[in-house]
A and B are shown apart, each in its own frame.
Chain A
């Protein structure tokens, strides 16, 4: 168990290094000049000399591998460099944004699971009943909605037509409600579909017939067995959804101007602020892989057979 987790963690680090290299290479080859962008945004008239000096100062002129090596070395010490835009440390910017993003994402994940678990269970246990049909239609539609669309529509109806909620997400729960819902609606719909098919599959397992033939009460069959056995898959499903939430939060934070890491990266993309974009990718990747590693461990504890089969 422990050895497996360690092995996965080592793999994680290798993957991160490879990815950091790819991102760095891509950025190296990218069009657009951060030095020029920076100067124009500061209102400086760009001449060849000024531009060259700025490039020199930002370290853009040194060879590729030197820059990559230095950058990777400082990352390992927790130093993500300074922003091209305002010379502030990238690590501090990312940390501040990350906190807000975590608040929004965890709230969305909680809402999604709280809605999807009961609906998925009802849908699977009463398969082909009227409730199942209704839940399937709703979750199909919800799963097809892009979150930017939901956010715009929710904003239109609740903030402009009904004037119930603020347009810009403020720190309180009222302000967070719409952004969280925008992320949660498609996610919950996907969860319902996944939980439903997972449970239906589990209900067809041989042991379910065995328990029923022994006259075990249905509530024990469902809650203590079918649901327990599916828990590992549900945890894995939720961990994979963290990736969707990360992408979604870029969109939603931009729409609602929520000062998270997603909004930060959009602002940085517009300013060609490479250190921030790279820090964003690495942090998101680390969190995502860490969460999935954790989910793997949890799933392994819940169903020890996984460890035996997936040597």
Chain B
């Protein structure tokens, strides 16, 4: 059995003034791709936030263990070195995950140094190429506000790849992208999974993406995990009526291969 990277048991959490997660259990093993599907407000993003411990999500019950140690007992420094290094995150709006007015190079350098590594231009260029960004040297001199959201997103993914995390958390990565770019990003993530063995926990409102990538699919509704099973099982023999309805709402497409590309949020690449 593969090593367990993340183990969530009976987790309840609140965000601000609201209780948003109730009794969630989930486990991510090395190399696995798990997709959590749900409508907005179902608590799926909060689940990720609870794992990486930012954004004032308060755990009110249950436990989260990452790489064997309980997250709640970690010191700030332990959590910091775990984040990025072992657990990568591609947030909902990756374009916002960089300081908009400082050049990428300085920011990537500091990110690498924070994890005890050196900034290597050649390695960075390779990572940029992998996400379809040519001219790494030119891009590194630019500031995030000078690039489109889609470009920023790819730099964010490249940054996550540079750190070679064993677990990558993705929050609605395709929602702000046009169809073509979204398809590219999905392929890049799959490639990371194949080549580096990175486990991926992805949150999305698109069952289509889950169908394409996931080994396991979880369905969330009103802060609860109502179904969590192998992808084939969920797609072919869902137990819950809600899941069946979600499946009906996914437009019929020719094959699993193309479904990642129907995830357009309708926004252009700016």
| A7 within 8 A of partner (CB) | no
Interchain residue pairs with CB less than 8 A apart (16): A207-B97, A210-B94, A210-B97, A211-B98, A211-B111, A212-B80, A213-B91, A214-B97, A214-B160, A215-B82, A215-B83, A215-B85, A216-B84, A218-B80, A224-B110, A228-B101
Give A305 to B145 CA distance when docked, in angstroms: 8
Quick one: which of B52, B102, B106, B110 contacts A213, CB cutoff 8 A?
Answer: B52
Contacts A211-B99, A213-B83, A214-B84 given: A206-B93 contact, CB under 8 Å? yes
For window 137-161 of chain B, which residues contact chain A by CB distance below 8 Å?
Answer: 143, 145, 156, 159-160
| Cβ–Cβ < 8 Å partners of B81 in chain A | 215
| A79 within 8 A of partner (CB) | no
- Bitwise interface map of A from 196 to 226 toward B, beta carbon under 8 Å scored 1, else 0: 0000000000110111111111101000110
A216 CB to nearest B CB, Å: 5
Q: CB within 8 Å of A: which residues of B?
A: 52, 54-55, 76, 80-85, 88-89, 91, 93-94, 96-102, 106-107, 110-111, 113-115, 143, 145, 156, 159-160, 163
B90 CB to nearest A CB, Å: 9
| A304 within 8 A of partner (CB) | yes
In the complex, are the beta carbons of B101 and A212 less than 8 A apart? no
Quick one: which of A215, A217, A304 contacts B101, CB cutoff 8 A?
Answer: A304
| A100 within 8 A of partner (CB) | no
In the complex, are the beta carbons of A209 and B54 less than 8 A apart? yes
Give A4 to B100 CA distance when docked, in angstroms: 22
Give A218 to B110 CA distance when docked, in angstroms: 11
B189 CB to nearest A CB, Å: 17
Quick one: which of A212, A216, A304 contacts B110, CB cutoff 8 A?
Answer: A216
Quick one: which of B52, B94, B100, B110 contacts A220, CB cutoff 8 A?
Answer: B110
Give A207 to B91 CA distance when docked, in angstroms: 10
| A303 within 8 A of partner (CB) | yes
| Cβ–Cβ < 8 Å partners of B107 in chain A | 211, 216
| Cβ–Cβ < 8 Å partners of B99 in chain A | 207, 211, 225, 228-229
In the complex, are the beta carbons of A210 and B98 less than 8 A apart? yes
| Cβ–Cβ < 8 Å partners of A212 in chain B | 54, 80, 83
| Cβ–Cβ < 8 Å partners of A216 in chain B | 84, 107, 110-111, 114
In the complex, are the beta carbons of A215 and B84 less than 8 A apart? yes
Give A207 to B143 CA distance when docked, in angstroms: 13
Contacts A206-B96, A220-B114 given: A214-B101 contact, CB under 8 Å? no
Give A215 to B100 CA distance when docked, in angstroms: 18
| Cβ–Cβ < 8 Å partners of A214 in chain B | 83-84, 88-89, 97, 111, 114, 159-160, 163
| Cβ–Cβ < 8 Å partners of A218 in chain B | 76, 80
In the complex, are the beta carbons of B102 and A206 less than 8 A apart? no
In the complex, are the beta carbons of A217 and B97 less than 8 A apart? no
Give A159 to B262 CA distance when docked, in angstroms: 79
In the complex, are the beta carbons of B80 and A225 less than 8 A apart? no
Give A304 to B99 CA distance when docked, in angstroms: 13
Give A220 to B94 CA distance when docked, in angstroms: 19
For window 105-126 of chain A, which residues contact chain B by CB distance below 8 Å?
Answer: none
| Cβ–Cβ < 8 Å partners of A209 in chain B | 54-55, 91, 97
In the complex, are the beta carbons of B110 and A217 less than 8 A apart? yes
- Among all A-B residue pairs, the 6 with the closest Cβ atoms: A210-B97, A215-B84, A206-B96, A215-B83, A214-B84, A217-B114
Contacts A213-B89, A216-B114 given: A225-B102 contact, CB under 8 Å? yes
| Cβ–Cβ < 8 Å partners of B115 in chain A | 215
Contacts A215-B115, A217-B80 given: A207-B85 contact, CB under 8 Å? no
Give A244 to B81 CA distance when docked, in angstroms: 46
| Cβ–Cβ < 8 Å partners of B106 in chain A | 224
In the complex, are the beta carbons of A207 and B114 less than 8 A apart? no
In the complex, are the beta carbons of A215 and B111 less than 8 A apart? yes
Q: Which residue of chain B has its CB nearest to the CB of A228?
A: B102
A97 CB to nearest B CB, Å: 41
